[in-house]
A and B are shown apart, each in its own frame.
Chain A
Amino acid sequence: MTVQHPNSFRTQPDERGHFGQFGGRYVAETLMPLILDLETEYRKAKDDPAFHAEFEDLLEHYVGRPSPLYFAPRLTEELAKDAAPGMGAQIWFKRDELNHTGAHKINNCIGQILLAMRMGKTRIIAETGAGQHGVATATVCARFGLPCVIYMGATDVERQAPNVFRMKLLGAEVIPVQSGAKTLKDAMNEALRDWVANVHDTFYIIGTAAGPHPYPELVRDFQSVIGREARAQMLSRTGRLPDLLVAAIGGGSNAIGLFHPFLDDPSVKMLGVEAAGYGLDKDHAASLAGGRPGILHGNKTYLLQDADGQIIEGHSISAGLDYPGIGPEHAWLKENGRVDYTSVTDDEALGAFQLLCRTEGIIPALEPSHAIAAVARIAPTLPRDTIILANLCGRGDKDIFTVAGHLGVTL
């Protein structure tokens, strides 16, 4: 059977919030009216030039956009060194690690807090795993003077102490979640429990392109600034489009933000990189490679789960990729074949982390280190005139303790 391709890959989701069989609105009845309100309000905001103007103004003057598009000469040469003659693709980075707060997460938080204020909500909640989304949410709450409650698994609170302190400095209340496995998915459960009890005044800023419709769509739209800028920058610098886009995927917001504006450019291939943790035959967080479609946290998507549909904990050295699901649009893009997906282990990511430090003087976060590892694998197999563009979605300051631990260094 040949795969039937849609005329455009950029028209999803449908009016019911589905990306093919994925996505949807699998939430308790208490939340449904609010989800429908959010959708209505988002449609209005999307059509409102004033909303876009405020969003773009904040991205420029508060976040520091556009982020640079950077050609990485020494990494390119390093990876071409052992390649066959004429091989060794050019490597470029979209430098979203240079954003205020050090990652792409802030793009989405700016968009969502503007929506929250449009809806008259006066209290913000969010979940966080590594703490990056928590910090970004606490940041925009401080900027706009709204009270902020961050749910974070008790295990993560312990292993991400610097980010917990950052959130508190920014005025947020950080609530350690003791339920379940005490990590990101449990933090999301607890945020949903808070939301369901406080629907009248509370807005839930979800950190990735997942959750009930319209979150996957609106997070994608806010993060698509990454791909729109990159597309224009690449055209202006090289006169052409990149040949291959590469991005790491936990929930998948930085990847969908880079990919989406290119989805209807047939010459542009795309590669999403999941976290293979200790290996796909051991503990990992690669939902597409090792999971099956199921329903969790408001959407249908690929999930790590057992035969009864019980959710299995993800594992990755990168706390930001350590989630047993993936955004529904990625599940759809995998099934229709528009985007390829691969995975990278903890050890490969650690190697790529150090490689970028030494060759380019950039300390990447462990999340994009997965993308860099995939680039390192592929670049030597592609001709020298091939352009690979990878999303450097976060900086690595937050990860130096983890990396030091793995390298046997005590700080």
Chain B
Amino acid sequence: MTTSAARLAAAFGQGRPALVCFVTAGDPTPAATPAILDALVAGGADVIELGMPFTDPMADGPAIQAANLRALHAGTTTPAILTIAAGFRARHPHVPLVLMGYANPMTIRGADWFADAAAQAGVDGVICVDIPPEEDPELGPALRSRGLSLIRLATPTTDAARLPAVLDGSSGFVYYVSVAGITGKQSAALTSIEEAVARLKATTDLPIAVGFGVRTPEQAGPIARVADGVVVGSAIVDLVGQHGADAAEPVRLLVAQLAEAVHSARSLVA
């Protein structure tokens, strides 16, 4: 059996930058999500972030807010999300799957319940937007004791003094939020990303994936030259919003372009 840590390590250890793709679970419906996840893999995504919809997604921009509402209106529940995850794991034994979302849906039945259920569904890691290191006891111990990675976010406001606390207890990879802001809005200057990644690399051996505001192959490629991974979310979620239950094919086409740009980024330079 492949462990969660091994799956994430393998995804970032292919000798080329990794493409991390986000979609919201249950958007547009729970029944439509598996085909969209399969399209991410078919297009060349190396890591899947499956968003857990929440009524109050305060770190997200309009695209993902709308996706959350679509999913909730379609009746997406936490058990349904875990079923989607388990199905994905059965179809794709080697592709890492990370749940991303907010604290309340993750902890409302108890952190142990959530960590057990996520581990049983074959989830590899969890990104929780609103549990900073200061509140780690809320979720971190439950995840780590089951071998799940807690993937923390580092941001432009995370200074050198604070960084060790952010990294302590993190595993899998570090998600560098390239702009101080919400998802899907403005993108950061490449030089600031390069500096930030260098700063992170000096402090940790974990792979660094860069996200927030990355929408196109033209943006993703240059970031992939300086980071271990590039995260794309809102641009894919927008396609789901546009095409609904027929989104799989357009999603696959976009992801294929992103994957081409990310995977070949360093070979083009060399």
Contacts and interface: CB of A to CB of B under 8 A. Distances in A.
Interface of A: 16, 24-34, 179-180, 185-186, 188-189, 192-193, 196-197, 199-200, 292, 294-298, 303, 305, 307-311
29 contacts: A24-B134, A26-B130, A26-B132, A28-B129, A28-B155, A29-B157, A29-B166, A30-B59, A30-B157, A30-B181, A32-B134, A32-B158, A33-B159, A179-B62, A185-B56, A186-B56, A188-B58, A189-B57, A192-B58, A193-B182, A196-B59, A197-B182, A294-B104, A295-B107, A296-B56, A308-B78, A309-B106, A310-B54, A310-B105
Contacts of A297: 56, 58
B199 interface: no
Interface string B125-159: 00001111011001000000000000011111111
Interface of B: 54-59, 61-62, 65, 69, 72, 77-78, 102-109, 129-132, 134-135, 138, 152-159, 162, 166, 177, 179-182, 185
B157 A34 contact: yes
A207 B54 CA distance: 24
Contacts of A27: 130, 132
Interface of B is mostly: loop
B152 A309 contact: no
B157 A26 contact: no
Given A26-B130, A30-B155, A32-B134, 5 more contacts: A24-B135, A29-B152, A29-B153, A33-B159, A189-B57
A189 B158 contact: no
A296 B57 CA distance: 10
A188 B78 CA distance: 25
A30 B107 CA distance: 22
Nearest to B62: A179
Contacts of A311: 55-56, 104
B103 A295 contact: yes
Nearest to B60: A193
A295 B101 CA distance: 13
B162 A196 contact: no
B103 A26 contact: yes
A310 B153 contact: no
Given A25-B135, A179-B65, A308 B108 contact: yes
Nearest to B53: A310
Contacts of A33: 157-159, 162
Contact of A303 (B102, B104, B130, B177): B104
A30 to B, nearest CB: 4
Most buried by B among A34, A199, A309: A309
Contacts of B104: 294-296, 303, 305, 309, 311
Contacts of B61: 193
B131 A26 contact: yes
Contacts of A196: 59, 180-182
A197 B180 contact: yes
A326 to B, nearest CB: 15
A307 B105 CA distance: 9
B65 A180 contact: yes
A28 B65 contact: no
Contacts of A199: 157, 180
Contacts of A189: 56-58
Most buried by A among B58, B62, B103: B58
Contacts of A16: 134
Contacts of B158: 29, 32-33
A292 B110 CA distance: 12
